[in-house]
Structure 1
Amino acid sequence: MQNVCERCKPGYNTTDDGLSCVCMPGTWHSCVSGSCTCLPCDKGMFCPGGWRQAKNYAPEDQKGQRLSCEQATVVDAASLINTTTIRANGLTTKSTGAKRPQDCVPMPGFYLASTGRNSQKAALCPKSTYSPGYGRIRQCLKCQSGTEEKPDANYAANVTDLLPPLNKTLRVNRTDVCQVGPGRYLVQNVVRDCPAGSFRTSWSQTTESSSRYCFTCPPGVTTNSTRATNQTACKVVAPGVSMNMSTLESAQLQALAGDNSLAGNDVALCPYGTYFPGGVIDSTTNTTCLTCPFNTTTQFLGAASINDCQIPPGYYIQVAAPGATMGNLTTCPTNVSGQGYYRSGWTSYTDITARDTNGTTACTACGAGILSDLTDIDELGGGNDTSKLVAGSSYSCYIQAGWGMVPAGVAADQTLQYSAVECSNNTYGVANRTYGLQSTPCKPCQRNLITLQPASTNYTQCVNPAGFGYSPGGATVCAPGTYTSQGSMQGCIACPAGRTTADNATLQTAITDCYVMPGYGVYNGTNGTSPWNFTTPVDTADKANLTVMPCPVGYYGEGGQLDSKCVQCNGTRTTQGEMSSSVDQCNRCPAGFEFTNSTGSCSACPAGKYQPGYLGNDAPGDTPNFGAGLSCLTCPTTLSVYISSNGTEKEFNSTGTTYRTGAASRDECIPKVAQLGIDVGTKFFDNDTLLDSVGASDFETCITAACTDQCCFVQFDYAYRKNGTGGPGTQKCRFKQMTPVTATSIASTSNLVYYKMLPSDAIAAASLGKVEAKAMSSGLYARCALPTDWAALSDTDQIGKRLLAAALPATDLALCKKRCDMMSVCWGFTVKGGQCMLRGGFDEQDVRSFFRNPADSTTQGW
């Protein structure tokens, strides 16, 4: 019988001998109730397939087994193959139909601990590792640097932990396993320790935002180290921060809550005068800040070191004794024994030079006489209290108004020292209290100016001394005759006219120093009777203001007193001129007087003489020189010319006289006999019967014999051409005796005739052509009473020719004289019946008329 080969069922492979059918790799031989088949290899197992080398009909165990991934254990059909079993082993396959042990891979959370075919085994990932599974990894993946497994995570430590009731989890997911632990944070995929001053309390997955930051400690607080895991680690208070435990704990809770508002808050700093080097809060004092030694202070808030404790400007440490270690911060004294002190700049509390018992060595002395004041802001509390001041710089040193400051040497530290001086008289210092150390010398007053007291403060207190006049640039000694009062700041004032001063500036201070100059005297112009002799005031100022005038001629003034008067020369003596200053200058006679004896007394010049006074002629003795003021001079002789009986000119010399004694001028000299001017006429009277008549052979006899001392008018008819024959006729002498009137007061009812008294110098002494000058008036008129029998005549015009048609009122004799003086043809005027009538002469051939002035007069009664 021939054998027929059958083909293997699908899924089977034939063995090499072709005698048996075995399962293909990836399947296993399963026989259930005599029914066998090749089934796909279950997940978690591998099936290498039947043995192709089997011979003589392969036994069942060679037709295809399924093996567990772990240690290749045969798993028969009756064995339980499920997920739990596979999970417990930790090995599985990615899918069914696995063929080799190499197809076995660790499940998530496992790694291959052994890879041998029969020893292949999976193990749980250890702490802080993970495995996503399904890869033949020989070890689990480690967490990235800085991440780690949370200590209390529910991960299985062994396979039994995976079973109920524990049911722990596997380390499969990196995110779940590898977390950022407390005290650390993730930045740019790198885990870093929270820096000092921050903390993190929780575990966070790297995917969580909370893993990316740390919580910041409260402001002013830090940690002892990095990687702080709790807010309580924020217990190290920063240097200079002021804090107590209660405040700290409250701030820690805020920081834990993630209160970001804390970051912008200002911490409380240690106040001025305290410091804190940093660290934990002292449980005893429950505060951080420490008080500076000696109650010194700090320059800023938040001082961190005891070395920040310093002595501020204006302070020193007062100790009980030199070298003492206990003391207290004290302000520098301002004034001790007339000297001020200050201390500038900051210095350490350890500076022993800033320690003293009273501050006079620890603080800097301003200088002798220089005081100090509180001028600088007290920086003890940071300088915030501007109401409190200290002497904290050299600017605190000051000099008083009216003082100066000068260099006084160089100190050991090469700083320039100063001292204060009170400005002496005639200088001035600062105007007000002046601060700071600098050379401020007293300034001198301008030239010759003085001050009235020391410590003057301004140039305006420099004034002129008494007797010095002020002008820009200073004062100048007043010249004699001027004065100024002290402090007037005016120029020299001239003394009133006639006054002067001593040549001594100290005696030229006021108008009361202006005494009367020699040759002057006080004058009272209102006292018309005696302006040089009146009662002067008692008050000195009133005396100084009396008017002073030059002493007139006849007076002298010795001066030298406020009320010196002009004194009249004794008797009738006079002076050579005005402003005589001594009685010795009363050495001349006044005009009209002369020395008459050896005693030097003066008497009036008699009639016919005159004395014009002193006119600068210093002839010695009694030499009768004109202008010597010593002797009277005889009036000159006056020459008149008339026609004689034989028709020739003939001269007549008339002696001179005066109308009073004591004549002072040659102009007062008048001739005793004066010829009527030819322009007036040749005779006074047209009616010869009014005159007395005597025969006279010549004119001289007519004048000297017929006409006596009371004869006023003479008409002489020399009868040369009588009867037209050309020969001489009978000569006649006509004249009229009248009583001269010399009284000073004339009654309004008086009947008078006034005729001109011709001056001697106006009488010409030559021909008829010159005789008209004899009509010139001296301005004086002689008066004669009209005879009583003339008053009965109805027409008195025969006593001279009427020159004006209308009469003038006799009450105004000055007008009558003036009108007559202005008319050369007027020889005088008559006053009768209250009327004044100007009179001229009549013309008649061979007649010449003359005034025959009365006898010499001793009084001015004309």
Structure 2
Amino acid sequence: MKSACSSDATAAAGRQRPVQQAAAVGRQRPAQQAAARSDNCRAQIPACAVRNCPTRVLQNRETFVCPRCLPGFVAVQSSDGTSAVQCGTYQVVAGSSRTCSSCPIGSYCSGGVTDASLPTFWSDFGGEAKPCNPARAVGLTTRTVNSSSSDDCVASGGYVLPASAGGPAQQCTGARYAPALNQLRQCLQCPPWLGPPASLTGPQEDGKQVCQVPPGKYLEASTQALLSCPQGTYRPGYVRTDAAAAAAACIKCPYGSVTRQSGSASAADCMVPPGYFVKSSDAGAAAAAGEMVKCPTTPAGSTDEGYYRSGWARPDAVLSTNAARDGRDVCSSCGQGVLSSPRDPDESPTALPGSLTPATASSCYIHIGEGLTREISSDTSGSTWKAIRPCPANSFGAAADVFGLAEVPCTQCGFGLGAPAGSSSAEQCKNRGGYGYRDGAAYACPVGTWAAAGSMQPCQPCPAGRTSSIGAAASPENCIVLPGFGVYATSDDKALNPWAPGNVTSTLQAKPCPQGFWSQGDELGGTSQNPVCQRCIAPESTTGPGSSSCNACVPGFGKDANSSQCTACPYGSFQSDIQPTCNTCPAIAYGNPLGDGTSSFASYGISFAAGAKGPNGCVPRHALVSKLIGDTIVNNLALPDAMFATTLDVYAVLQQQQQQQQQQQQVSDTAALQACLEACPADACCIAELSRTSDNSLSCRQARLAPVSPSTADGRARMFYKLPPSDPAAHFAAQDYTNMASGTFAVCDVHAWRADVAAGRLGNPLGMADSPGAGRPTFDGAEWNAAGCMTVESCKQACMADVSCWGFVWSPDVKSRTPVRGGFALRAGERRLQSASFFVSPDGNAAANSGAEAAFAGSGLGVGALQWQ
């Protein structure tokens, strides 16, 4: 029976006496045999993955067979070819102990053999690991461990299988190769046009390393054809077909030089033809960097010289190394100011037919109107050529471009006449522009006159309102218009606006621009652009006539420090004249009504719309409710207590701030007043009331209302509060400002208290102001839609005419004398002891940001009301 190996337990069993073993087995019952089957299976086939092995009769003997081996072991078949009697190991004999190991790489194990060597004894022989290679041979191996057959032997890289069974592997050398772990019988051959370098010896497995492109050749990418390196390139050695160098074909000659034939294999074949030099990559010029460049006519940074170069040369011999890398150090100079142009046949093999290059001195030339002279050095050791570029004014030079190096003089014009620089004939000697011809000579035209160049005429006067510099005006167009002046139409052109003539020419006269118009005029010494006076675009204007720019703004507009444009005066500012900047709304200072008589508080001025045209559009942010009516001072709006939903302990707030700032000082009444007012939101109507408490401190409570539009179309109850001006002098300086009206009313939403509004409990009727008690006023009631107060505008006028009126209200819940829904009623306040009230308006900037500016009606300054006529 065949077996890959026997375990140590099996080996021990083999050493028992056969007769005793047989007798014991014969005496076992079938049940005992089944119980021992599992242990005997593991002892005989240790690598079997099945616990209970089946048995088969093999060679007239019942033997365990394995249905499935453990991972990493290979089944070893018995003589019947179908039964696995062992799992992929072979036996290593070491003394009397025997163990099984995986068959190593490069060998195969066909399995062990167990035969009866004597009638009464068993002899166990483990499987052997047989090498794939014959003795002293290499090149054969296996793909993995646990190989069990010679068919598992494969060839290593650079070898193929033996020509006959049992022989050594065949080497692949020269232009042949074989990949690793192959089962080839013959080596793979390179294409006939590819081959290995001479330095590559021995067996080879990498076809890319063996089949390389030879020197002077390259592999064309699309067709894989082997081609000779074209002119201007070379390849010095072998290169792999999968290398980037093969895809990029051959190596370009250094610096763009060329070769005289194709198939070059050395950089020594690279040359620079006549008329060229080498510009290195350090030059930085994108188009020519690192390439051959023709000797320059006008090198970068110079307009003085041209160059040429003769003869073939190595690239390093004509490599420009000066700072500019412009070739002036390797090409020959034509001379100072002498240019060069390609005039010689281009000998470069890559040049197009008919191409030219500056290869000799015949490429040197001067332009028409230039001169050429030869200067001898002071030591007479040599000479240089110098171009006169161009011939100076009042002379003439070459009549056409002149090639070659020969003297060409610049000839002077006749007396008093001149010619432009670069003239090429005597006929060009004329009177210059700005010079008049008289009595056979030319003279500079005086200020205010002109003469055309070449006219040979006397000087002519400039049109009225224009001027010129001495000898500078060659035409009427040179008669310039001064800043602040503009051309205008004459009386003969009556159909046109005089300041907007339809046919603007240099013959038109000029006058100072009127106010509101501007002109920059012409630049001195230049050609007149015939500027007209431009009307300033509102809101820009000028401070007076003759302005060269719109240097001011119309009322309601100004320029800030960061812009030259006129913009509407922002909230809290105004501009009442044609001036460049806006003025800040004036502040109002008043004494603390609950203080000691020495302290005061100042309220800054605000406006409820941008573009205020005067101080009468400004109102104080904090308006003190203090109206003198006879001998009575009204200091309270007589609002329901329920409206004051916010109460502040201003002393506690200030003391907490002092503690945070590590300050210890007594809180003043003025500081408490200021804290109460500054607590009002910037985007709300805020009525702040301060009262003196029993402990002589001040209490603060606030009614915060939303600002709304003056329109009553939405049916919500409204309160209109009359605001005083922030600048009393702008109204009636003789009156107390608290009794005055600015014409601006703050409109606040009181719909939450519509019942109080309808019952007349929001404010008092006019003429009922005295209420010395500290409780609620007793003057409830209202006269709705009384004569003079039936609309928003009529109520405003009536309230402004009555000093006791602090505003008016509108209720949707009262009957009206008109078909219009709801009613209006004028309201007055009351007097309370030890108390003071302020109406704190929304800040204009916050109102603009929150969209609440529509809540303010007043003196025609509402948002969107600014229009230019």
Query: What TM-score, normalized by structure 1, do the two folds share?
Result: 0.30
User: Bigger radius of gyration, 1 or 2?
Assistant: 1
Query: What TM-score, normalized by structure 2, do the two folds share?
Result: 0.30
Higher relative contact order (CA 8 A, sep 6+): 2
